[in-house]
Structures are given as C-alpha cells and as structure tokens.
Structure 1
C-alpha cells in the first residue's frame, strides 16, 4: 500500500514542466528509480555559488536550506559542472544531489571545483499524477507526460543550421541566438531547437527572445538528459513538431561537445538528420580544438564545417589560423555576427540548389563536397 502525504512546493524546477505540477502536490513513498520521474525533495544546505534553480517560466530562483523542490531524476556528464547518475534504489529519507540548474536530481559522482559541491537534498517522495479527472489513485509523475512524441522517421524537410561545439561553454548558444536573430530580421520564419544536453530552458528561451517563432528541446520529448541511443528519435520528433509551425529554417544547437557523452555523435551519423543539414557551425575555444573539430567532422562524420566561431575567433590570432591554416571561415558571433550570418545564408542557398538538383537527378556528390560550391544567389543568400 502506498503511503501518501500532501506537500507544498517552494520551487518547481523547469525540468519538470511537462508534468504541469501545481504548487501543492501529493507524494507517495514508492519511488521508481529511473530517469524522468519527478520527486519532491527538501534542500539540506546553503551554497554561495551555483545556488539557483530555473523554474517553469525560465526565471532563476535562489535555493536555500529548507526549500522544498520538485525535480527530475536524471544523469549528468558535464566536464565543467557535475557528473552524476540515477541511483539504483531510492527511498523516502535518502539523500541525493541537485545536479544542474534545471533541477535534475541524482547521485553526484564527480565535482568541478569551480562550481563547488552540489546541493544535498532529502527525498520526500515521488510526486503523484492524477491524469484522469476524479482519479483517486495516483501514479508517479514522469516528464514524458504531455510530451512531444519521438519519431523513427524524419518527415520534416525544413533545412537545419546545426550549431555544434568541441565542449560545453564554447559559444554555441551565442552563435545560435545571433543566427536566429539575423535570419529572422532578414524575413525568414525561424524555428529553434536544443537537441542534446541536460534539461534547462535558458538556451531555448534565448532563441525565442531573438525572434524564433517556436523553440523545443529534448525535455519537451520527455528526456531529462540525453545520451547515446535516444537522441536521433528525439531530434526527429522535435523537427517534425517544429515543421507544423511552417518555419523556413531551423537553428538547432547540439549541447555539450562532439566527443561528449550526450549522444551528439548519433545525430551527426544519422543520414536523415544530416540530409536536412544545410550548415554546420562549430564553436571552439582554441586553435587545437578547431583543428580537432575539422578532422573529426571530415574523418568521422563526412560533414563540412561552414564556419568556426567561439573564443578561438576572439581576435585575429585564432582567425588567421582558422582561415589560413584550416581554410575555413572564422566569424566571432559576438563581434562579427553579420559575417557569420552571411556565410550561413550562403550555405542555406547552396543547400536549396543541391536539394532541387538531387530531386531532379539524384545526389551526385558527398555532403562535404557539395558544401564547398559557390551558391547561386537567392533570398537566403542576400
């Protein structure tokens, strides 16, 4: 028999938003220890750094000892943050940790000293959902409730600008936001997506603020944090749903790095997803990362790099290396957003030409070769 109690939440983290939780919830003592399930926990300590949580509106709220938080079980593998897992067993009264700003909960296995130790939290119980009006028996809430369905087949043919990086905090979101802004101001309807990473609304909200007509993340598909094996169907579900808004182009950020553990490689190896790839912007912090990214994209994925951005392009030292040493465009998204936009628009125009040609005669070149051609001028190239 499930023992239940009523709990009033002080903080409802953004990772739980699919569950549509009210401020007052019923919790049960039978907990499913698996990703995506929603728990109520009590924060046990105070912190001076990394001490906030994003709520379901996108606001960052402070967390203090004694606050009761609704969070989502999940994993994290962040080089510059926490690593953590979902414990194999969780009971009321156990202590777990808050692994990210979006309220992901689990057992911390490794800490980056820059963010300090994570919040510790006492498990109060599994938050129960009552999906049918009049239900008297609840079931453990999960963020796949009300989620966008994943898809095995990509139905969308909207061109995608992929923003990847060599690591976290390499400048991907800045580049994605500036491209959304520039494309939208140029008269295009822009959809936006965050395809990999750990749950947080911030990046998608940034793209919406820049002019995207719609933005979705993997959390909208009921995924707390991505990993190999789930990202391809998640991305296809996101693109299919965004296509309903009739965008002219989708800007899609790939969270973490191309060698990380969030499933980016699966996306880059999927023929359907790369078939709609019109541009590939790479964010990198230094010249070595630029070289490594160029080699990986060419050898492992047979994909071109449309432009390199990020801290490696902060001044002419890195820019000269990228352009002269690698033969690639280098445009800093903060200081030269117009240059980055121009290169991407040219790639979009070339993709349109290549797609039209392939539909008439069949594909004749690899994606990396086709991307090097001079584009025929069009609205997208202006």
Structure 2
C-alpha cells in the first residue's frame, strides 16, 4: 500500500503558507458530532496531521477536514453547543463520516475513498447520498481535504468519546426503565419521551434519560435535559455518529452500557428512546432481541395515525412487548385519537398529558398479571 500523501485540494493552501494546519483546525467550523474533539483542539491544536490520497478509505466515525463546495439542502451546521452555524462556500468544517437512514430525508453511505461527498445531517455527518425523499433538494457538497490523524494513527470519534462500549455488559440493579418507540420518524417519540420525563420529574422523581439509536444531533438530548432529566446520554457519547448498520452484538452492548451508566446516577426512573420506526433495521433487531426484555420494564408507543397505532401494538406484542399506552402525533387530532381508542385495548394518551405527574406515574406501576 502506498503512503498517504497530501490531498491536491490542500496543496495550494500549504504552498501559499496562508495557514498552518493548527490554524486551520482552530478556525474550522466544528460539528455537534465532533464536540469532544473540539474540546481537545481548544486545549491544544498541535500534534495533528491529515491522511490523504487514493489509498485512504474512510470508516464510520472517522473525522474529516472538508471544504464546503456547494450549499444545498443543509445550509447550516450544528455546532458543539447546538448553535446553527451558517455555512458559506469555501468554509472548512470538521465532521464525521457516517451511514445514514432517514426515510423522510436520505439514505447515505460512507464512500470508499476521499471523493467529493455530502453533508448528510446537520449534526455533522459526511457521506454519499444514494437515495433522497422527493421533497429533498440537492445536498450540500463537501470536498474532503483529509482524515484527521495524530501520532497514533487516524482519529475516530470513539477516541474522544467520554464513555466506552462494554459488549459483555450485563444488567445491573436499576430503577424502572420505560422505552419509547414509534411507527416512524416524526411520529412524536422524542416529544413523548420528554413529556414523560417532565411528568415523572413533576411527581418528585429523579429521572435519567437516554437515546439508544438514531442520527447524531443535539436537539433530542437537550430536550431531555430541559424536561428535567438529571443525566442524559446518547450513542454519540460512546463515539457513534449514527447507529445505522450496527450489528446486534454492538446494539446490545450499547443498550446495556447506556442503561447501566444511567443507573449509576441513582435515578428513580429511566426513560430511553429508540429512534426511527419499528420496521427500521436496527429498531427491529432490538425489538426481537432477547436481551431487551429484561432491560425494559414498560413501553410507550408513538404513532402518527390510528392504523399505525393498531399495527404497531400488534408488532410489539408479537415481539413480546406489551405497550402500556399509545401516544404521539395522532393525539393532535381528536378524531384520530378516537379511532385509535375504538380499536385498541391500551390507553391512548395525549402527548402533553404525559407531563402530568399522575399520568406519568402509571408507567411505573406493576404490569397486571
């Protein structure tokens, strides 16, 4: 294998002596996904180098310095503190390579080399868009300059993550765990989880919260904090830019490690969200995995309409999970909620009802025998 060389896109800047790599890394716009790297760079931007050339093959979580070539569907980049940074052509950004699955947006894959690619999520993900929703415009285009490396080799998000995965983790003593799932993206899962956290907090409980799967972004964890969770974790805290295409063993390790860590803050309840819909690959794996049953004590299911609620409850029960209630986007419509109530034998609860202490406490009651 040939030794990686300086990427042609970087050469003019290096030859011109306009900025050193330290200066470029300091000036580059950092993404939410690279927030732990950003802390390290702020402390000391020296000791880094770029891996470039045709033999450099990116992997999920690898960190790339890239230049914005065209502004498209995503004109802003979420910063480490979740500020939306406006992008301009010519900006240099630090983002992470990742695969992404989002039915109402895009399917994207990590390319095989440092070819031009796209910003595939505002949280700071680089990939190659292969399929787009009909409502989505052309993606913002990036030109990779090089993978970030140091004296120990290429840098991946896992190197900077504050928590590490324990694939052999076993359930520990913990409080009641409520899992929130849904029919699809935008079915109301995150809002429902936040309202449930608020309701349990209003009841005087200490609540911790986590997001086991999804696409790296700061909005959901920050919403859980705002709802009153004393500790919040998600997969990015373990160095994963997304969880798309993780194998079951890794999903198990992530779920177990996260719940065990959340339990360490001595909460009286834990609320975890599982992203996307029940047909999405990793969500389906989790639902059917034997390890999830002893890890989760009750399930809240979010749906966009009555038919989705009915089908979802059936799928959950087939996998051995009996939902305690249905909520989500369908409850915005009194008629849709009434349709669901007529078909289901579980309560249909308005999303913001969950923020009431009495309603939230129902999820901690023992399941009827």
Class of the TM-score when normalised by the shorter of the 2 chains? 0.7 to 0.9
Q: Which residue of 2 aligns with 1:35?
A: 60
Q: Does residue 106 of the first structure (1) align with residue 124 of the second (2)? A: no
Q: Which residue of 2 aligns with 1:365?
A: none
Flag the structure with higher helix content.
Answer: 2
CA displacement at 1:252 relative to structure 2: 0.5
Contact 1:161 1:278 in 2 (8 A): yes
CA separation of 1:309 and 1:222: change in aligned 2, threshold 3 A: same
Q: Which residue of 1 aligns with 2:17?
A: none
Contact 1:17 1:143 in 2 (8 A): no
User: For the residues of structure 1 that align with 2:295 and 2:100, how far apart are their CA atoms?
Assistant: 29
Equivalences for 1:148-297 in 2 at 5 Å? 148-151=163-166, 152-156=168-172, 157-226=174-243, 227-229=245-247, 230-261=250-281, 263-297=282-316
SS of the residue corresponding to residue 121 of structure 2 reads coil
Which range is displaced more, 119-128 or 60-69? 60-69
Contact 1:50 1:115 in 2 (8 A): no
Alignment coverage as a number of residue pairs:
338
Q: Which structure's relative contact order is higher, taking Cα pairs within 8 Å and 6+ residues apart?
A: 2
CA displacement at 1:219 relative to structure 2: 1.2
Of 149, 158, 161, the residue aligned with 1:128 is 149
Q: Deviations over 1:51-70 (max 9, x none)?
A: 22211112222222111111
RMSD of aligned C-alpha atoms?
2.0
User: For the residues of structure 2 that align with 1:276 and 1:345, how far apart are their CA atoms?
Assistant: 19
User: For the residues of structure 2 that align with 1:57 and 1:41, how far apart are their CA atoms?
Assistant: 20
Alignment gaps of 5+ in structure 2:
7-13, 15-20
Contact 2:202 2:355 in 1 (8 A): no
SS of the residue corresponding to residue 34 of structure 1 reads coil
Q: Deviations over 1:114-167 (max 9, x none)?
A: 3312111001001124xxxxxxx3521101114322232233333211110110
Q: Deviations over 1:332-377 (max 9, x none)?
A: 214x3346x6444223121xxxxxxxxxxxxxxxxxxxx345xxxx
User: For the residues of structure 1 that align with 2:196 and 2:216, how far apart are their CA atoms?
Assistant: 22
Q: Does residue 141 of the first structure (1) align with residue 155 of the second (2)? A: yes
Moved over 6 A (4+): none
Contact 2:98 2:110 in 1 (8 A): yes
User: For the residues of structure 2 that align with 1:40 and 1:104, how far apart are their CA atoms?
Assistant: 12
CA displacement at 1:3 relative to structure 2: 4.2
User: For the residues of structure 2 that align with 1:63 and 1:186, how far apart are their CA atoms?
Assistant: 43
